[in-house]
Amino acid sequence: MQSFTKIQQNFIALKTAYQKSQSEFQAKIDAVKERANKLQKKVERLEKAKENIDYPYWTDLLLVPLLNEIAKQTPNLKWDFENSKTLNCFGMRAECPVFASDKDGNTIVTLVFTPGDLSIGELFYDTREKIRELREGEMDYNGFNNVTKEVQGVEQLLEFVNAQIKETEGCFFYLNMKLKPIRKFTKAESKKGIGLPLKSIGVSNYKNSRDSETNYSHKDFYEAAVKKGLDYADVFLLNDSFEVVPCENELFKLVKK
């Protein structure tokens, strides 16, 4: 028969062995936790260092160097990107417009860039052509109707820039609007007089609360035209877009009927 003392001794031995095993495993766990804490701190340092790596924005590292080369070849133009800390993108195409002005501050060149496959440095620019004619009331807010062409080199863009400069020949600027005299009134239009189908384009000398109103001066309009010897027309082409008629108090769009 096993005595109670023997049973007690066996229990004490097992309990002692259990406590020893617990202590040994806890020591191992504590050591692993300590190493894990050190590793976690290292991970956090690496993650912070990763976050501090400068992102290679396409506007800064792809577009600006390209524009710098164009600017070198067009010393008579003032490019807006030269005074900007960064270029801005807009809309669903992430389009980035860049403008250049002449010595008088008139914007005479517009370049609109969009990114392609940036893993291969692909870049596109708007050609100023349209894919299709929009239906009445239809709007193209994000420029998806614009024809684009892949940028192949500096010379290609210089040709595009010089074409826009050439388009300013025979034009004058008023309130940063490019205007080109295109014709006198037809006999029918002269007969209609104030009954011509005109539509306000928000350029007037009326003082009201509309934010779109721009201070307009009939006298200043023709003075700008006279300086260029271009005051001989009744109808002018505005920004290569539509015909306008300067009246005493307002600049109107001539509506086709």
Q: pLDDT by residue (tens digit) across 28-80? A: 999 999 999 999 999 999 999 999 999 999 999 999 999 999 999 999 999 99
Q: Which of 167, 201, 224 is the last residue of a domain?
A: 167
Residues 129 and 188 in one domain: no
Residues 163 and 185 in one domain: no
DSSP secondary structure letters along 41-95: HHHHHHHHHHHTSPP--HIIIIIHHHHHHHHHH-TTSEEGGGG-SS---BTTTTB
Where does the pLDDT of residue 235 fall: very low under 50, low under 70, confident under 90, or very high at 90 and above?
very high
Both 136 and 68 in one domain: the answer is: yes
How confident is the model at residue 209, as a pLDDT?
A: 47
pLDDT in tens, 7-27: 999 999 999 999 999 999 999
Are 47 and 65 found together in one domain?
no
In this structure, are 163 and 177 located in the same domain?
no
Same domain, 234 and 180: yes
pTM of the complete model: 0.75
Domain boundaries, position 152: 58-167
Residue 213's pLDDT is what? 56
Final residue belonging to a domain, choices 9, 32, 53? 53
Strand arrangement, sheet containing 235-238: 172-174, 177-183, 235-238, 242-246, 250-254, 198-204, 214-215
- Which pLDDT tens digit goes with each residue over 161-206? 999 999 999 999 998 899 999 999 999 898 888 789 999 888 888 7
The reply to whether 108 and 156 lie within a common domain is yes
Are 114 and 73 part of one and the same domain? yes
Shared domain for 141 and 208, answered yes or no, is no
Share of the chain above pLDDT 70, in %: 96
70 and 106 housed in the same domain: yes
Domain total of the chain: 3
The residue-averaged pLDDT of 123-146 equals 91
Judgement on whether residues 106 and 9 belong to the same structural domain of the protein: no
Residue 188 CB neighbour total at 10 angstroms: 8
Q: Do residues 203 and 212 make contact, with C-beta atoms less than 8 angstroms apart?
A: no
Residues 62 and 163 in one domain: yes
